[in-house]
Amino acid sequence: MLVTLGYDIDRPWRELPKKKRNWILFTDEQLVVPVYIGFDADEVNHALKRKIEPSYLGNFSSAKRYVLTTFATTKRSSIKKRITKYSVGAECSLCQGKRLRRESLSVPFAGFDIAEISRISMSQLAALLHPRAEGTAAEITQMSVAHPEKALVAHSIAEDLVARIPVMLDLELGYLTLERSTPSLSPGELQRLRLATQIRSNLFGVVYVLDEPSAGLHPADTEALLLALDRLKASGNSLFVVEHEIDIIRHADWIVDIGPAAGAQGGHIVYNGEPAGLAKIKDFQTAKYLFQNASLSTRLPRNAVSWLKLSKITRNNLRGLDIAFPLGIFTTVTEVSGSGKSSLVSQVLVELVARELGHYRTPPTDVEKLIMQLNALVDSGNTVIVVEHDMRVVAESDWVIDIGPGAGEDGGCIVASGTPTKVFTVKVSRTARYLARFLEEHQSNF
């Protein structure tokens, strides 16, 4: 197409006039250009003069337009990854990255424009709206005198919004912001958001089917999940949950246990009844972990052969974090959802060491096999680092890094770092309480 447009494509790029180079790279023009396959420049000129029918008509666009259009429309991650090499993210000078026109940003609420409101956490938003919902905010009081109809509208909107937020806070989602995109949410966060919507709907007589709602949840988040499930049940709904998490199973009113094993050895109803009755079925896996508290291994934690030290890490809610990962042993990174674990391990660490790291979520009957496999990797001279909430995996680790103490803006700090016996004594750690309880229940020698 450039040949048809009069450009010498055999001429070195640096020799082209700057004006022509800029047009090729950045023009907003979109031209329909005749293309003559196999023709050189002279033959193309001859064909154009004689109005010879071209091989096809091409749509010319600049390199800039091609990159932006392809990035926005392609469904293939490989193409998108290749395109990103030619683009640099920068904040818009007009909206300062708020992605709205000046007119939309000119309307403030409590001193914030709409983009600034969307960037604060749910907890902060609740604190901001409460005085407006209660009618105690100064601007609402002034407005009720000058424009009572406006004050009534503002009060009604604030009151409705305030009523929607508590269920989010109850589900430990107060750290989320309104601008968070759905793809950026973890499966656990997305599941709890859906539950929050259902709780707020006040429906009754509905059957809810949930497939492993505790997947990816810290024990503290699991407790919040159980409260949400109880609220749905109390509203007159039925809950059918496919679950492997022991705390969820213990909380159930009725258990259907399918087995006795996997694959061809499964598919049978092993038990169907109240949880207490399952204790009589001693030979089956679920009963074993639900009532017998299988003991942990008694091996001593391994010593690190060396340390990988990272400094001044800033990513999402990690701000200037300094951390050291022990090498040659089995390390677990844990804490509540949204504390910064995945940002640290799945993003920063992977990018820095260019190595795939394991993330596992398995049933209790498989956790022992998983731990055996992880230990085998370490015994072979490898380093294993996992992001995990399962307390058995945490307890069996050589080293534990606890990131928190909360989620979102309240996270991103190293709360505790050491062997499991050291971490469960750290009072500010939300993991410590659950780790200590697990070790006690399993009569560990730790």
pLDDT digit string (tens) for 310-354? 889 888 788 888 999 998 999 999 888 778 888 888 788 877 765
Tell me: pLDDT of 395 over 80.
yes
64: closest CA among 55, 72, 56?
Answer: 72
What is the model's pLDDT at position 294?
64
Measured between alpha carbons, how far is 431 from 49 in angstroms, rounded to an integer?
78
322: closest CA among 444, 414, 239?
Answer: 414
Beta bridge partners of residue 268, listed in sequence order: 259
DSSP characters over 370-429: HHHHHHHHHHTT--EEEE---HHHHHH-SEEEEEESSSGGG--EEEEEE-HHHHTT-TT-
Helix axes of 148-170 and 187-201: crossing angle, nearest 10 degrees: 130
Q: Which two tokens stand for residue 84?
A: 């990103």
Tell me: pLDDT of 446 over 60.
no
Q: Do the domains 13-86 and 306-441 sit in the same CATH topology, yes or no?
A: no
Q: Summarize the confidence of residues 255-259 as an average pLDDT.
A: 90
Please provide residue 37's backbone torsions phi and psi, each rounded to the nearest 5 degrees: -65, 130
What is the distance, to the nearest Å, from the Cα of residue 347 to the centroid of all Cα atoms in its chain? 11
Measured between alpha carbons, how far is 37 from 143 in angstroms, rounded to an integer?
72
Helix axes of 18-26 and 63-73: crossing angle, nearest 10 degrees: 20
Pinpoint the alpha helices (H) of 135-218: 138-146, 148-170, 187-201
* CATH domain 13-86 topology: Helicase, Ruva Protein; domain 3 (1.10.8)
Amino acid found at 67:
V
The percent of residues above 70 in pLDDT, for the chain, comes to 94
* Residue carrying the six token digits 């660490």: 349
- Ramachandran category for residue 263: left, alpha or beta (phi over 0 → left; psi -120 to 50 → alpha): left
Length of the chain: 446
What is the model's pLDDT at position 253?
95
Question: Which of 139-143, 270-274, 313-317 shows the highest mean pLDDT?
Answer: 270-274
What is the model's pLDDT at position 107?
87
The percent of residues above 90 in pLDDT, for the chain, comes to 23
What is the model's pLDDT at position 354?
56
Residue 299's pLDDT band (boundaries 50, 70, 90)? confident
What is the model's pLDDT at position 399?
94
What is the model's pLDDT at position 445?
45
* CATH domain 183-291 topology: Rossmann fold (3.40.50)
What is the model's pLDDT at position 295?
67
Which is more confidently placed, 353 or 419? 419
Which is more confidently placed, 9 or 443? 9
Tell me how far CA of residue 327 lies from CA of 51, 151, 260, 313, 381, in angstroms: 71, 61, 39, 19, 9
Averaged pLDDT score across all residues of the chain: 85
DSSP characters over 10-47: TS-GGGS-HHHHHHHHH----EEEEE-TT--HHHHHHH
b/e sequence 306-321, b meaning 16+ C-beta within 10 Å: eeeeeeebeebbbeeb
Instruction: Of 113-117, 170-174, 204-208, 365-369, give the lowest mean pLDDT range.
Output: 365-369
> What CATH code is assigned to 306-441?
3.40.50.300
What percent of the chain is helix, strand and coil (3-state, nearest 5)?
A: 45, 15, 35
Q: C-alpha angle 231/234/238, rounded to 5°?
A: 95
Amino acid found at 80:
K
Domain range list for the chain? 13-86, 120-170, 183-291, 306-441
Which is more confidently placed, 185 or 120? 120
pLDDT digit string (tens) for 203-228? 899 999 988 888 778 888 888 889 88
